[in-house]
Structure formats: structure tokens, C-alpha cells
Structure 1
């Protein structure tokens, strides 16, 4: 029971108790402007909101932050957008660290080889990737999951993230463009996966059940990764 109390907070918008992995914290900056505390480490009183762009927008609309902090709150022009930007920056920084650690592989041929051997922990595709190129990666990845299920390998899952454009990833990583990439085993790569999960949850529209499963099990459902475009509707 103690573990639950340490790892859950109340969403100020819905008043629902959720794991901290399914929430994002906001605090007042030194200048009195509300900012997203993406690391959840800033000093001062914080306001927790469900990890969803729609939820943050709704919290702004209903003036949840001022009510929770019991004081006047200055908001940035686009808090949902700023929050997404911060989450994107954390993800890109983590990819950069994974690259330095030798745990990020680029290029269709190399990535496809990793899928064929199962030596990856996440597949990354640019949002502007060509449909045929995407299918050449997603098809084998689904086959890999199917083979693991046939062999009754419990807990095997390689998430697929489509979160940023090739230009965004290329600029952050010092490359011309990044269309296909894969994260391999290692602490830096695992940290990048966790940052990707949070960004995926924030920009997607998962159900309450999906959000809670992410927080409890640490696994993003295949529907929220491989078929992310369908979630967006």
C-alpha cells in the first residue's frame, strides 16, 4: 500500500488518482509563469494533470491551475504546445545520449537487420516516412511479435514510435535526415524508450485503461505505437 501512495498523485482536472507515469507536473517559474515540470523535480508546489494534450488544454480552459495553487497564475500563450515541445526535447536529448552510447542505429538496411534478429528494444520511424518504407519495417516487426507469441515468450514487446519528422530528428542528432532508426539494449536506449512513451501518450488519445496500464506495467500497448495514426483519428 505504501508503494501505491509513493507513486500516485491526484489529477487536478479529473480528481482521479493515477500513477505518476500517467501524469505531468506543472509549477510556477521564478517569474510567476506556469511551466511544465517534465522531470517532476522542480521545487515548490506542483499541479498534476493527466498526461494528455487534451487534458492540459481543458485544465487551462477551466482555470484548474489557479484554483489548485490558490493564487493568480500567469499562463504562457500555448501551454499544451509548450508542454509538447518540452517532451519532444527530452525525447530528442535521450536519443542523442543513446547515440553517444552506441545504442541507436540508423538506416533502413541496418534497422531491418536488427528487426530480423530481434536485437532491438524499439523501432523509430519518422512521421514523414514513405508508406512503402514504413511497411517494410512494420511488417517484419509484427512478424517478430507473432513469432514470440507462438513460442510463448511472455512479456516480449518491441514498441514502434512515430513521433517526430525526419528533419526534427536529423537536426537534433546532427544528421541530414533520420527516417528509420532502432534502439538497442542499454541504459541510455531504455531511457529514450521511456521518454518516447510519455510523448506518445501526451500526443495520442489513449483510453483510461491504456494510460493506467502504461503507468503500472511500463508498457505502451501496440495499438498506441504501431498504429499511432489510427489513434489520432
Structure 2
């Protein structure tokens, strides 16, 4: 990777696809230029070198790849390692794996609560309510009713089935999940939000 310090990590970040300013906390993906001149996703924002940022959107990533925005951002010929749509698929797979891994860690840390009653009982202490694609609408409605009474808790639908989610967190019947506030839960929520934002834009 390029060894220079990336001064855009914390300020003056702009989406290379749209030119839009990306304030701290914005859902965005960072990419760096690898030693061979290929684009490398840096989902954790920790790789050295100049970073190129794109708002968490599949359409933006595909557009940037097609319009050679990475070469302009890095001021050097830069290759996307696959056809634009295939590259977007690769990035979404990485985001999915990162989010599911983070949820597994959150469960082991005791900050991800699983089960209909467990989520309802902690309604006032949650940062987010998560469900898989195959969650029962009736059950979701009942949980959201309790959450509404306790305050504003966002409901995020994860783009996977419950069996995949169960495997990721190591617990059967992962249908209703509640993330606590702060600590390890914050990292998991950020990973989930990046993944779902990118997926929704697909």
C-alpha cells in the first residue's frame, strides 16, 4: 500500500462517486490502492495510504468503477479487480461477513439479546432491534409495539434468513435480536448499518 498518511480519514471526506461531503459518522466505505495498482476495500478504515471514500451504496460503487473515479481519486492508474457489478457483489459479501462476525462477538460479549421475550423485556435499553427476512410479521409487530412505548429504537431487517443468522451467532431460533447500547454493541451496529445500507441500494 502507499505509505503516505491519509489526511481524509477524519475530515474533508468526499464521496468520489458524487462529490458529496461525508461528515463524521456518515455511512461510507473506504478503499485504498494496493501495491499492484488494484482497488482494495478497507472496511475497517485501518489500511495505510490515501483513502478513497464512497457513500454506502451499491449504485455509487458501480458508478465509480465504471467512470474510473478511483484513478482520479488516487491520481494514478487504478484497476477495479472485477467487472463493476461483480466487484460490488464482492464488497457486499465482505460487508455481510463483517456484520455477522460482529453480531457473533456481540452475542458472546452479552450485548446481543436473542428471543421474543428477551427483546421485549429490554426494550428501553436497546440501540436497535434486528430481525431476519423470514421473521413473522405478527411477532415483529408485537415487539415493535413494546419498543414504541419505550422510546425510539430502530428496526433493521437483515438481508439473510434466520438459519444463517443462527449459525453466525451460535444460537438456534435467531429471529428477534436486540442490541444493547454502547461498548461492543456499537461496533456491531455500525457494521450492520453499513451492510444493510449497501444492500438496500442494490
2:4 corresponding residue in structure 1: none
Q: Distance in 1 between matches of 2:36 and 2:20?
A: 30
Which residue does 2:48 correspond to in 1?
43
1:14-163 alignment to 2 at 5 Å? Answer: 14-22=18-26, 23-69=28-74, 70-77=76-83, 78-115=86-123, 118-145=124-151, 157-163=152-158
String of CA shifts for 1:20-60, please: whole Å, max 9, x gaps: 53321112335543221111111223221122111111112
- Equivalent position to 1:182, from 175, 178, 182: 178
Q: Deviation string for 1:100-147 (max 9, x for gaps)?
A: 2111111112222222xx1322211112212112212122222333xx
Please state which structure has a larger fraction of its residues in helix. Answer: 1
Task: Tell me the distance in 1 between the aligned counterparts of 2:177 and 2:95.
Answer: 19
CA contact (8 A) 2:32 2:47 kept: yes
Q: Report what 1:192 is aligned to.
A: 188
With structure 1 as the length reference, what TM-score do the two structures score? 0.72
Distance in 1, Cα, partners of 2:172 & 2:159: 14
Q: Decide whether the 8 Å contact of 1:98 with 1:189 is kept in 2.
A: yes
Q: Distance in 1 between matches of 2:163 and 2:70?
A: 34
Work out whether residues 8 and 20 of structure 1, in 8 Å CA contact, stay in contact via their aligned partners in 2.
no
Contact 1:53 1:80 in 2 (8 A): yes
Say if 1:34 and 1:76, in contact at 8 Å, map to a contact too. no
TM-score by length of 2: 0.82
Q: Identify if the C-alpha distance between structure 1 residues 5 and 39 changes in structure 2 by more than 3 Å, giving closer, same or farther.
A: closer
Which residue of structure 1 lines up, in the alignment, with residue 3 of structure 2?
A: none
* Other-structure match for 1:12: 16
Q: Which runs of 5+ in 1 are unaligned?
A: 146-156, 206-231
The answer for unaligned runs of 5 or more in structure 2 is 1-7
Deviating runs (4+, > 6 A) in structure 1? none
Q: Distance in 1 between matches of 2:127 and 2:80?
A: 41
